[in-house]
Chain A
Amino acid sequence: METVTLTITNQPELFLEADCISPDVFAGKTTEEIVDLPVYIGREQHRLGEFFEISGRAGATPAETKIVVNGDLSRVKYIGMKMTAGEVVVNGNADMYVGAWMQGGKITVNGNVDAFAGTGMKGGELRINGNAGNYLGSAYRGDWRGMTGGKIVVTGSAGSDIGTFINGGEIIIGGNVDVHVGTHAEGGKIIVKGDAKSRLGGQMVEGEIYVFGDIDVMMPGFAYRRDVELEVEGTKGRFALYEGDLGERHRKRKGQTVYGKLYQLVRP
């Protein structure tokens, strides 16, 4: 695997839209070509090289290309957007839409990310060693087709509205989450190792939510069923199983009505 290293040297005055920072775009290009890739500030088009010092070389294919981005990227959007293979490592905080619509490969962020990371994700792995903002792994605004595959791991906490319309794949939050978790979920799995606030699984019809800590307010549309013994992400224990959202339409499978499942760890 070949590596291209980008170090931000010139902070944009506003925000930089840089969806070109992706192994799919870099693969097969020379450093000169990468320097010339278009980025946008509002309606102005610029060159990637105006903001980053770029070294190393890209592989022939996305799978053979690794990109390392260094520095404060809190004004850089769309890193790793739509990538299908290869690897991106971000050493610093990044702005919105990291790994949005990604289909494969791996992104590691050693820092925090802003909103919409992993929006509409289809596959691959997005690892955030830090905190995530709102709308992590959610559907695009208005869309009813959310995350369908892949894995998102956040070691810190996440904001509100995570996993809206999730339909497949997995979101694991090491810390706490804000309101609205797995709204409209139709599948997939969300694990919150810390505390949750309220409105978990609103209008959820299928899928799983696990919470290891406290839940401030449960949705009224969830009913307690029973306790179950489970091992979830290395944590063994007794979980209280709730099913919902009972206010929604639920499909049947083999004669059984399918519900969204909300498990909360029962602490001794």
Chain B
Amino acid sequence: MTEYLIKNGFVFDPVLGIRGDATDIAIKDGKIVETDAVKNPKVIDATGKTVMAGGVDIHAHVAGPKVNIGRNFRPEDKLFNARPGRGIERMQGGFSVPTTIRTGYNYARMGYTTVMEAAMPPLYARHTHEEIRDTPIIDQGAFPVFGNNWFVLEYLKNHELENAAAYIAWLLRATKGYAVKVVNPGGTEAWGWGLNCENIHDPVPYFDITPAQIVKGLIEANEYLGLPHSMHIHANNLGNPGNYTTTLDTFKLSEGIRPRGRFGRQQVMHHTHVQFHSYGGDSWRNFESRADAIMDYVNAHDNITIDMGAVTLDETTTMTADGPFEHHLTELNHLKWANADVELETGSGVVPYIYSPSIKVCAIQWCMGLELALLAKDPMRVFMSTDHPNAGPFIRYPRIMKWLMSQEAREQQIETFKHKDKVIDATHIAGIDRELDLYEIAQMTRAGPAKALGLSEMYGGLAPGLTADVVVFAFNPNEPYAPDDIEKAFGDVEHLFKTGVHIINNHEIVSNGNKRTLWVNARVHENPQVMRDVREKFLRYYTVTLNNYEVRGHHYVPNPYVIEVDATQ
């Protein structure tokens, strides 16, 4: 493979602790190496430019059946934005639910090289992996959802932790999944009865188990196995005024549990898109931000990580395995609604949504997303996300950077709000003058999420030995710049290397890359009971046989990267 030397760029790297010093970065055989280890490298002059590791997105909905429902029922999302194939680039289309091809290209253009699909229904894992396979350039993994799964509910109800863990290990292998995802624990199952679980002690109909038991049980099972990532949760009561108390109650379920395993993460709970879970007030009239209370808790507890779920003020497509929430949303905005039930496992809903700066609630949501990051004491535990596409499309990450890095940019945005004064009264943002620097941005978008995913030995930094995912941005942090320069430079990288392959050269995509699918193979003791339960449930309830369920072979995962976990010790 070609060797590269990226010379003299302003490097921001939390792994090496470099805060903008001019540093050379060398690439050989897909890895970062010491600069004297390359003999005849191709030299990229990065003088006056910013250099970082490839971005890591810990939570986005970019592949799978509900993304495809979004694509299918929103042809208008592709209106006037399709682009024909050109050179090495293939045909692309879509804005909030882009095609797989555009998904890969747009992440690459922002300097992202690793993206986690945040909710994979196990029954449709094959479809999810086919889409992941068709998404160029970026490395991906997918989180199967466990929080409403009949096996999990039964094992945890009976306090059979070992069986729950064995089932998780089996399902990760069967679906080629990466982590334990929980969405509205118990609530989506309750939705099958037209009900919901609105707080952590609201019992699940029929199963007679509470969300609190599900969450705690899954954290314990996750740590029993010592998986790379922690349990990754979207808690109950999303999107409702006053829900921040449910969120704090959920956080508290992690107290006293420490991480196990060899992957170096410190958290036992990752709570996703916390913006949607930080609401005060008791109605939309007195709706207000309680990001302060949420961040007080997060700042004081180092076994929790979160991502923002920042609202970007766009027209977008909401989609979640939280079926009852999407029904609630379509009742609010009266736009079209799709609902899906996934047998014994989960469900989902999809509704378009317009976050308008003229609507008070939307403007408050925008403030709250940013407050979470601006109130963070440790940027290694608070990550950038839009819960793509729920709070906005991922292509807005550079705009979120602009808002986080510039108080002027935030004030400009607040000026456009129709109910500006009411919005300021209901939020904390106007009193925050913090401006994040590029080192903190690198923590929130690279080193932090890589560590939380248990991937700090592969991604998130520029230390020798790490995967050579390197970005050069046409941005000089030492010269004066306007806020919009940030958005422009970080949305259109000058150079991108992914696993040592030159993907973007001088702003142009020159390779479709060597994407990999990450999955976790957790070895447990043989568990005849769980295997018998699996066979029985497939025989009695599933519409497919086991043979048509598992994700196997080259067709689905042509380029796997397997992370082995030994839980037999």
Interface residues of A (CB under 8 A from B): 43, 140-144, 249
Contacts and interface: CB of A to CB of B under 8 A. Distances in A.
Contacts of A143: 76, 79
Contacts of A249: 334
Nearest to A139: B76
Contacts of A140: 75-76, 79
A144 B336 contact: yes
B333 to A, nearest CB: 10
B502 interface: no
Contacts of A144: 335-336
Contacts, number: 17
A142 B338 CA distance: 13
B557 to A, nearest CB: 31
Contacts of B85: 43
A141 B76 CA distance: 6
Contacts of B334: 249
Contacts of B335: 144
Count chain A CB atoms within 10 A of each CB in B77, B79, B336 and give the residue with the most: B79
B75 A141 contact: yes
Interface residues of B, number: 11
Nearest to B74: A142
Interface of B: 73-77, 79, 84-85, 334-336
A143 B75 CA distance: 8
Contacts of B76: 140-143
A141 B72 CA distance: 11
6 contacts: A140-B79, A141-B75, A142-B77, A143-B76, A143-B79, A249-B334
A249 B79 CA distance: 28
A249 B331 CA distance: 11
Nearest to B79: A140
Please report whether the interface of chain A is mostly helix, strand, loop or mixed according to DSSP.
loop
Count chain B CB atoms within 10 A of each CB in A43, A141, A142 and give the residue with the most: A142
Q: Give 10 nearest A-B pairs by CB, closest first.
A: A143-B76, A142-B75, A142-B76, A141-B75, A140-B76, A142-B74, A140-B79, A43-B84, A144-B335, A142-B73
A120 to B, nearest CB: 9
B180 to A, nearest CB: 35
A140 B79 CA distance: 9
Contacts of A141: 75-76
Nearest to A249: B334
Contacts of A43: 84-85
A140 B81 CA distance: 14
A141 B75 CA distance: 6
Contacts of B84: 43
Given A141-B75, A142-B73, 5 more contacts: A141-B76, A142-B74, A143-B79, A144-B336, A249-B334
A89 B76 CA distance: 29
B76 to A, nearest CB: 4
Contacts of B336: 144
A192 to B, nearest CB: 27
Nearest to A82: B80
Nearest to B73: A142
Count chain A CB atoms within 10 A of each CB in B76, B85, B335 and give the residue with the most: B76
A141 B335 CA distance: 14
A43 B85 CA distance: 9
A143 B85 CA distance: 26
Nearest to B85: A43
A144 B75 CA distance: 11
A90 B76 CA distance: 28
Nearest to B72: A142
A204 to B, nearest CB: 14
Nearest to A43: B84
A20 to B, nearest CB: 15
B90 to A, nearest CB: 12
A164 B74 CA distance: 16
Nearest to B91: A43
A249 to B, nearest CB: 7
Nearest to A143: B76
A43 B82 CA distance: 12
Nearest to A205: B334
B97 to A, nearest CB: 11
A154 B472 CA distance: 58
Nearest to B84: A43
A141 to B, nearest CB: 5
A140 B75 CA distance: 8
A108 B413 CA distance: 44
Nearest to B334: A249
